[in-house]
Structure 1
Amino acid sequence: MRARVEEFEELRPLLFSIAYRILGSVSEAEDAVQDTWLRYAGSRTEPVSSKAFLSAVVTRISVDVLRSARHRREEYVGPWFPEPLLSDPYEDPERAAELADSVSMAALLLLERLSPLERAAFVLREVFGFGFAEVASAVGRSEAACRQLVVRARRHMDAGRPRFAADQREREELAVRFFEAFKEGAVGNLMEFLAADVQLVGDAGGKAPQWGRGVVAGARNVAGMLAALAGPFLQIGGVVEPQVVNGQPGAIFRDGDGRVVNTWALDIVDGQIQAIRAVVNPDKLRHVGPVADAWAVVQETNAALRTTDWARGENPTRPGLSGQ
């Protein structure tokens, strides 16, 4: 048993990374990995390859969970995003580009369009480089069928996947400058970083306040909202902590007590921010750290916003967050 424990712990980062890409949920991926261990510990047969066996088991469990989760996601209130991932525990220098690209919010949202089997086959083959025999064993289909699954999945992914042409360091440096501009709260400075058709999208799941229907579109609209909220948020002790989120530049927003308000992930293409994806749903943030009362933070921010506008003699109806 000790040998199995050691083998499993060595493979745990890979198993979690497979499950997360199939499920888009940190908590569900962790549960899938735990269930995989229970099956492994209870098995009386010794697999030829522990890696192949455990990868197949975690894939099957994840596919089953994904199938049951599809209905819940269809009824989700507002935009749905994966749970933010701050660090991917699995590292493979030879597949670093595939691993980083596949965990981005943009890629995970594209994976949502695939069937569970297409998603699993694509993740195993295209992201982790498994052979088709291993993919077939994991998803319970023939190798020929798995080739077709991967071809269809690749076609969907290639059609919609953004090309992060810039170097990761360049994107991170741009993000740092963007968040500095955010803290300054100047519309003109913010617009320099935003694509004309940029979208600010929030996943609150009906459990936290958000803006309108959860989407603000257009550089001027997005810059105006960010500029209006930055000063008041910082005034009440809010903190913007730059952080890699899902392999892309982003940030964690915290209240004055250091609790998590939301996370942002930035899609940066051709030197401009194409999308800002904010996860506000507290159920998706608990693995990041203690979660703030977002409603209270918004009330404080809006109160500070009104006070600032009144002191400046400005229009007190500048945009704030609401619970709509």
Structure 2
Amino acid sequence: MNRARTFEELRPLLFSIAYRILSSVTEAEDAVQETWLRWEASEARTESPKAYLSTVVTRVALDVLQSARVRREAYTGTWFPEPLLSDPYQDPERSAELADSLSMAALLLMERLSPLERAVFVLREVFAFNFEEIAAAVGRSESACRQLAVRARRHMEEGRPRFDADQRERDKLAERFFNALREGDVDDLRDLLAADVSMVGDSGGKSPQLARGIMGADNVARLFAAYFPMLVRIDVTWQPHELNGQPGAIFCDREGKVLAAMVLDVREGQIQTIRSVTNPDKLAHIGPVADAWAVSREANRAARAARREQEG
């Protein structure tokens, strides 16, 4: 058996397991690398590399999650998962479960589970591992894992939002939304937003915060219509991009450096939640990161100049 080739074939699965447990691209990549190092150093022979490596990556991810939860409790402001551009693991038979578990709403809901509940939920409900495999991965009995699965499933079902399944409709709505942002069209923005829409950002205290949390279609529409045309004036661009399986966009400065990632939750033909990630630590895996403070200062200067032009 060629271990390197086998590992590369399983890498997408291992990353997808680790990301759903950790909600972090960088930590998931580190967990996968640590899994490879442990397997490379091991002399153990296994009939099922998939089962063996899934066990190792789950245990590594659980160890990382313990310390990550402590850091998240001390996090400045609202915490969101690191945005994921695309899931490397594809399984047509599990496509619905894979997509549903990847959304930011689902990942945030998983934060309420205990680490063991989260791992069992991911392995069972998302990837359809049997309980013998799950028990080996988390170091608990099959009976205990069944109980963990029941509790995790109940918690997830109680809080899980339901989003529109028609991807074309979601993408069309997202396109209208980002076009309206560019034009500063308050009325069009308001029409696309649910009455109780919420706009929340994750800056981690390391970038300017557009808003700590704004509720209501009129408030969100007016804020966006006032601010985003100023970004256009200073050559900030944004490109629609699916993030965590949901419609969204990547924002860049005039040099093409990443400023933010924005994700839209769509339900019943309207945008229910807008989440933006501007913490540079959570954007570095996408590309070189912009100086958001400098961009904010330039946008404010552009806004003042625009007001002077109007006054006349």
TM range, normalised to the smaller chain?
over 0.9
Match of 1:281 among 255, 279, 282: 279
1:229 aligns with 2:227: yes
* CA apart distance, 1:293: 0.1
Read off the aligned partner of 1:208 and give its amino acid letter: S
Contact 1:176/1:242, CA 8 A, preserved across alignment: yes
* CA apart distance, 1:297: 0.6
Q: Partner residue of 2:264?
A: 266
Read off the aligned partner of 2:271 and give its amino acid letter: I
Q: Within 1, Cα distance between the matches of 2:102 and 2:192?
A: 23
Read off the aligned partner of 1:303 and give its amino acid letter: R
Read off the aligned partner of 2:183 and give its amino acid letter: E
1:247 aligns with 2:278: no
* CA apart distance, 1:137: 0.7
SS in 1 for 2:247: strand
Contact 2:162/2:267, CA 8 A, preserved across alignment: yes
Q: Within 2, Cα distance between the matches of 1:210 and 1:172?
A: 26
Read off the aligned partner of 1:94 and give its amino acid letter: E
Contact 1:190/1:223, CA 8 A, preserved across alignment: yes
Q: Within 1, Cα distance between the matches of 2:208 and 2:32?
A: 33
| Pairs within 5 Å for 1:28-177 | 28-177=27-176
Contact 2:85/2:242, CA 8 A, preserved across alignment: yes
Q: Within 2, Cα distance between the matches of 1:188 and 1:34?
A: 49
* CA apart distance, 1:101: 0.9
Q: Partner residue of 1:14?
A: 13
- With structure 2 as the length reference, what TM-score do the two structures score? 0.98
Give the 4+ runs in structure 1 shifted more than 4 A. none
Q: Within 2, Cα distance between the matches of 1:185 and 1:211?
A: 16
* CA apart distance, 1:5: 0.5
Q: Within 1, Cα distance between the matches of 2:113 and 2:208?
A: 30
* CA apart distance, 1:308: 1.3
Match of 1:215 among 213, 229, 239: 213
* CA apart distance, 1:165: 3.1
* CA apart distance, 1:262: 0.3
Contact 1:254/1:292, CA 8 A, preserved across alignment: yes
SS in 1 for 2:287: coil
Q: Within 2, Cα distance between the matches of 1:204 and 1:297?
A: 14
Q: Partner residue of 1:318?
A: none
Q: Partner residue of 1:187?
A: 186
Deviates more, 1:103-112 or 1:304-313: 304-313
Q: Within 1, Cα distance between the matches of 2:224 and 2:311?
A: 20
Q: Partner residue of 1:198?
A: 197
- With structure 1 as the length reference, what TM-score do the two structures score? 0.95
* CA apart distance, 1:310: 2.3
Read off the aligned partner of 2:70 and give its amino acid letter: H
Q: Within 1, Cα distance between the matches of 2:109 and 2:168?
A: 24
> CA offsets per residue over residues 50-101 of structure 1, 9 Å max, x none?
0000001000000110011111100000000000000100000111111111
* CA apart distance, 1:177: 1.0
Determine what percentage of the aligned residue pairs are the same residue: 64
* CA apart distance, 1:305: 1.3
Read off the aligned partner of 1:177 and give its amino acid letter: R
Contact 1:166/1:270, CA 8 A, preserved across alignment: no
Q: Within 1, Cα distance between the matches of 2:34 and 2:117?
A: 22
> CA offsets per residue over residues 38-60 of structure 1, 9 Å max, x none?
11111111112000000010000
* CA apart distance, 1:205: 0.3
Q: Within 1, Cα distance between the matches of 2:158 and 2:184?
A: 36
SS in 2 for 1:122: helix
Contact 1:259/1:291, CA 8 A, preserved across alignment: yes
Contact 2:118/2:152, CA 8 A, preserved across alignment: yes
Q: Within 2, Cα distance between the matches of 1:139 and 1:166?
A: 33
SS in 1 for 2:242: strand
Q: Within 2, Cα distance between the matches of 1:301 and 1:285?
A: 21
* CA apart distance, 1:123: 0.2
Contact 2:18/2:31, CA 8 A, preserved across alignment: yes
Q: Within 2, Cα distance between the matches of 1:253 and 1:84?
A: 13
Read off the aligned partner of 1:232 and give its amino acid letter: M
Q: Within 2, Cα distance between the matches of 1:61 and 1:166?
A: 33
Contact 1:250/1:263, CA 8 A, preserved across alignment: yes
5+ long unaligned stretches in structure 1: 315-324
Instruction: Report the RMSD for the aligned CA atoms in angstroms.
Output: 1.1
Residues matched between the structures, number: 312
Read off the aligned partner of 2:33 and give its amino acid letter: Q
Contact 2:164/2:170, CA 8 A, preserved across alignment: no
* CA apart distance, 1:211: 2.9
Q: Within 2, Cα distance between the matches of 1:216 and 1:77?
A: 18
